[in-house]
Amino acid sequence: MTLENFKNHSEQGVPEDEVRAATAHGEIPKSPTVSVIVPIYNVEKYLRQCLDSIVGQTLQDIEIILVNDGSTDGSLKVIHEYASRDSRIKVIDKKNEGGGSARNAAYPHITGKYAYFADPDDWLELDLCEKATKRIEETGADVVYFSAVREFSNGRRKPVMRFNRGFPSIRITPDHRIDLLRSCDAPWLKLWRTEFLLRHQILFSEGKRPHNDVVHSWKGCALAEKIAILDKCLYHSRRLRPGSYQATLDRNHLVIAGTMVKVEETYRKIGKFDEYRHILIPQKLHRFYRKYIVVPKEYREELGQLILASLSEEDRQFFPTLPFRVRSFYRMLEKHDIWSTIVFRFHDLLAQIERRWKTTREKQ
């Protein structure tokens, strides 16, 4: 079964025997507990640290799917070096089509009961698979969320997501899910039940662009009947690596407008829009604003036009609920009045000062 078959399968999902047959070549071997999927593109400098943290997992019953997304440096050589030493490693070599495409290419090859998506320039705590698997199995959840640490080049560290004591550990309500939807787009913050991903066709967005994990995360979070929380830092994310999509603020970041519209379309399709409307629309409006103030000024006019084109009357009904600075931003886009422009530029200046301060601090 190809990935296209997964996409075009009926709404009933993919039967488990077909899921297993998707990767079978002859006899179907015993399924591993966890499949760890890593999309790889030009990260030779960091790849060994990542792979060492995966092959050294305390839970040894894993398969490791390394997807080379057309790397032009020595990444593929490192991949084959590790594959020659560890029979648990599967290698997929494909042309460069972006991180989302690379992750999707792994789907027909996943045989683990659970699936985990890591980034190639980061590293895992050695007990990530063991602890996350224990948590998801003891709760019967479709997905388990956990915390991570941002690693800065100057040695500074910052938690990505911490769950306070009032956060429920299972059966997360729609109101509690807002924190997950706001802060946990990254695929490396969660371990999924493979059957759940395939049954609901929860795929990553294609293309060489950032935000390819947003629809995947939001769709999965909404459809999961039970979500488990593990308040432990199990992953290390390298912050703003030179050459990464997140560190390169170019035209690719204009896709945020289309990405959030796609999330909304997905929620309508799966019948979750009315339930999450009070979360989805304000979050979309906030993300548009935050992206606008960080993209280079030469792209702002184009992004502003894309944002305006995506706004509906239903979106505008939420304007009064937004913070003053965000309301001023949308008023500036729509009406171009002097007062709103002044307010926006003032807050934009403050945001620039804050970014420069953070950048300086990270380099110290």
Q: What is the DSSP string of 121-183?
A: TSEE-TTHHHHHHHHHHHHT-SEEEEEEEEE-TTS-EEES----TTS-SSS--HHHHHHHHHH
Residue 165 has pLDDT above 60, yes or no: no
Identify which of 327, 158, 333, 345 has the alpha carbon closest to the alpha carbon of residue 238: 158
Do residues 126 and 36 touch, judged by C-beta distance below 8 A? no
Do residues 94 and 70 touch, judged by C-beta distance below 8 A? yes
- Residue identified by tokens 């009064």 is 320
Identify which of 214, 184, 210 has the alpha carbon closest to the alpha carbon of residue 202: 214
Residue 89 has pLDDT above 90, yes or no: yes
For range 75-104, the mean pLDDT:
97
Rounded distance between C-alpha atoms, residue 351 and residue 294, angstroms: 8
Helices (H) and strands (E) in the chain, counts: 15, 9
Do residues 40 and 66 touch, judged by C-beta distance below 8 A? yes
Instruction: Name which residue leads in pLDDT, 194 or 169.
Output: 194
pLDDT of amino acid 12: 34
Identify which of 46, 97, 40, 96 has the alpha carbon closest to the alpha carbon of residue 64: 40
Q: What is the pTM of this model?
A: 0.84
Q: Which of helix, strand or coil describes residue 310?
A: helix
Model confidence at 339, in pLDDT bands (50, 70, 90)? confident
Written as six digits, the tokens of 337 are: 């009045």
Q: What is the per-residue pLDDT across 281-308, written as a single tens digit (0 to 9) for each? A: 998 999 899 888 888 888 888 989 999 9
Model confidence at 27, in pLDDT bands (50, 70, 90)? very low
Rounded distance between C-alpha atoms, residue 304 and residue 310, angstroms: 10
pLDDT of amino acid 54: 98
Catalogue the E-assigned strands of the chain.
34-40, 62-69, 89-94, 114-117, 123-124, 143-151, 157-159, 190-193, 227-238
Instruction: Name which residue leads in pLDDT, 282 or 15.
Output: 282
Per-chain mean pLDDT for the chain: 84
Q: How many residues are recorded in the chain?
A: 364
pLDDT of amino acid 46: 96
Rounded distance between C-alpha atoms, residue 212 and residue 239, angstroms: 18
Q: Domain-by-domain residue ranges, the chain?
A: 3-238, 251-363
- Of 93-102, 229-238, 278-287, 291-300, where does mean pLDDT reach its minimum? 291-300
Q: What is the per-residue pLDDT across 171-221, written as a single tens digit (0 to 9) for each? A: 566 666 777 777 678 999 999 999 999 999 999 999 887 788 999 999 999
pLDDT of amino acid 313: 95
For range 88-108, the mean pLDDT:
96
Residue 29 has pLDDT above 60, yes or no: no
Count CA atoms closer than 13 A to 314's CA, side-chain side: 10
Q: What is the dihedral of CA 191, 114, 225, 220, to 10 degrees?
A: 60
Instruction: Name which residue leads in pLDDT, 247 or 174.
Output: 174
Residue 4, CA distances (Å) to 7, 8, 17, 70, 306 in order: 5, 6, 17, 21, 30
For range 2-7, the mean pLDDT:
40
Rounded distance between C-alpha atoms, residue 348 and residue 332, angstroms: 13
Residue 231 has pLDDT above 80, yes or no: yes
Do residues 143 and 191 touch, judged by C-beta distance below 8 A? yes
Catalogue the E-assigned strands of 171-271.
190-193, 227-238
Q: What is the per-residue pLDDT across 42-62, written as a single tens digit (0 to 9) for each? A: 999 999 999 999 999 999 999
Model confidence at 82, in pLDDT bands (50, 70, 90)? very high
For range 313-329, the mean pLDDT:
92
Rounded distance between C-alpha atoms, residue 88 and residue 83, angstroms: 8
pLDDT of amino acid 219: 95
Please give the angle made by the CA atoms of 315, 319 and 325, to the nearest 5 degrees. 130
Model confidence at 260, in pLDDT bands (50, 70, 90)? confident
Is the domain spanning 3-238 CATH 3.40.50.300? The answer is no
Count CA atoms closer than 13 A to 269's CA, side-chain side: 13
Instruction: Name which residue leads in pLDDT, 198 or 251.
Output: 198
For range 325-354, the mean pLDDT:
81
pLDDT of amino acid 22: 43
Rounded distance between C-alpha atoms, residue 89 and residue 78, angstroms: 12
The single-letter code of the amino acid at 268 is R
Residue 364 has pLDDT above 70, yes or no: no
Rounded distance between C-alpha atoms, residue 60 and residue 126, angstroms: 10
pLDDT of amino acid 19: 39
pLDDT of amino acid 253: 61
pLDDT of amino acid 290: 86
pLDDT of amino acid 294: 82
Q: What percent of the chain has a predicted confidence (pLDDT) above 90?
A: 54
